[in-house]
Amino acid sequence: MAEMPEFVSIREVGPRDGLQNEEPIPTDAKVRLLDALSRTGVRRIEAVSFVHPKAIPQMADADEVWQRAAKVDGVRYSALVPNTRGAQRALAAGFTEIEVVVSASDTHNRRNVNRATDESLDDIAELIDLLHGAGARAEVIIATSFGCPYEGDIDPARVAAIVDRVVRDGADRVAFGDTTGMGTPRRVRDLLTAVRDRNAHIPLLLHFHNTRGTALANLLTALELGVTEFDASVGGLGGCPYAPGASGNLATEEAVHMLHDMGIDTGINLDALIEAAELAEHLT
Q: What angle is formed at CA 215 by the lines to CA 246 and CA 152, rounded to 5 degrees?
A: 45
DSSP secondary structure string, the chain? Answer: -PPPPSB-EEEE-IIIIIGGGS----HHHHHHHHHHHHTTT-SEEEEEE---TTT-GGGTTHHHHHHHS-PPTTPEEEEEESSHHHHHHHHHHT-SEEEEEEESSHHHHHHHHSS-HHHHHHHHHHHHHHHHHTT-EEEEEEETTT-BTTTB---HHHHHHHHHHHHHTT-SEEEEE-TTS---HHHHHHHHHHHHHH-SSS-EEEE-B-TTS-HHHHHHHHHHTT--EEEEBGGG--B-TTSTT-B-BPBHHHHHHHHHHTT-B-S--HHHHHHHHHHHHHH-
Q: Which of 240, 256, 268, 273 is catalytic?
A: 240
- Strand-pairing partners, residue 207, are 177, 231
Residue 148 annotated among the catalytic residues of the structure: no
Active site residue ranges = 240
